[in-house]
């Protein structure tokens, strides 16, 4: 991967990081509100649970974006963290924070990595 491509991906990742960081600061949706109506409380609890899941998803994505920026800095960006093959440019265009090639990502989604090589362990190593 050439320097121009790396700079392009770095800019995209930094923009995504800024976007996600701003969104995680707003936690008004998870405030616990008391209402006299039990049905309203159930609805608010459901909405709060959805907001918590969204925050968790965005926090995970932010970790992946930061890990990708780290890989750019250490020179391992664009290399699959599992098989160490090059990640195709088409995949990086679609998911610039992708730590795995498409084949290894599909295996990870099916939980086919060995226990010692869990996705979390590989990402933590980044």
Burial label for 1, CB within 10 Å (0-12, 13-18, 19+), is middle
CA contacts within 13 A on the Cβ side of 78: 17
pLDDT in tens, 9-61: 999 999 999 988 877 666 666 667 777 888 888 888 898 899 889 889 999 99
Is the pLDDT score of 122 beyond 60?
no
pTM: predicted TM-score of the whole model, two decimal places: 0.77
Q: What is the pLDDT of residue 25?
A: 66
State the average pLDDT for the chain: 86
Tell me the C-alpha distance between 56 and 51, whole Å: 9
What CATH number is given for 3-124 in this structure? 1.20.120.910
For residues 113 and 123, the model is more confident at 113
Domain residue spans of the chain: 3-124
């Amino acid at each position: 991967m050439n320097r121009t491509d790396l700079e392009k991906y770095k800019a995209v990742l930094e923009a995504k990081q800024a976007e996600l960081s701003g969104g995680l600061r707003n936690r008004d949706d998870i405030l616990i509100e008391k209402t006299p109506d039990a049905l309203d409380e159930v609805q608010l609890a459901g909405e709060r649970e959805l907001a918590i899941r969204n925050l968790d998803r965005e926090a995970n994505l932010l970790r992946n974006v930061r890990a990708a920026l780290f890989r750019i800095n250490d020179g391992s960006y664009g290399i699959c963290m599992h098989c160490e093959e090059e990640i195709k440019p088409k995949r990086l265009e679609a998911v610039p924070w992708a730590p795995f090639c498409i084949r290894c990502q599909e295996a990870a989604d099916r939980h086919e990595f060995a226990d010692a090589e869990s996705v979390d362990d590989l990402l933590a190593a980044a």
